[in-house]
Amino acid sequence: MHELGITRNIVSIVEEAAKGRRVTRVTLDVGRLSGVTPEAILFCFDIVARGTLLDGAKLDINSIEGRGRCRSCGEAFETRTLFEACGCGSRSIERLAGEELKIRNMEIEEAA
């Protein structure tokens, strides 16, 4: 359950950036090969956000598909696991995407 610690990181980074303003929405990029489960972050988020500037904010998670490029033949393809081999047989794959663990943006409450 490292997602609890990760969610605490998310809330603390966003709170710092919000500089006292209320946050209404946060959007994350989470790669499918990042080792982090979006459902678990969603589960933790409301609890961790309680009593902070993010209390009641909506959390959107973009799930990023894994992609790699074969170092041997140069072919780029979708990778569903960390250990997929290329069609040419090579297992030396450069990761292009899928390991993201990033806060993309936030929306803050407009001053009335």
* Residues of each annotated binding site: 2, 70, 73, 86, 88
Note whether 24 and 111 are within 8 A (CB): no
Structure tokens, 112: 């009335």
Which of 17, 40, 61, 76 lies at the binding interface for other proteins (CB under 8 A)?
A: 17
Which of 42, 61, 76, 101 lies at the binding interface for other proteins (CB under 8 A)?
A: 101
d(CA 51, CA 90): 51
Which residues carry a binding-site annotation for Zn(2+)? 70, 73, 86, 88
Q: In this complex, which beta carbon is closest to other proteins, that of residue 63 or of residue 81? A: 81
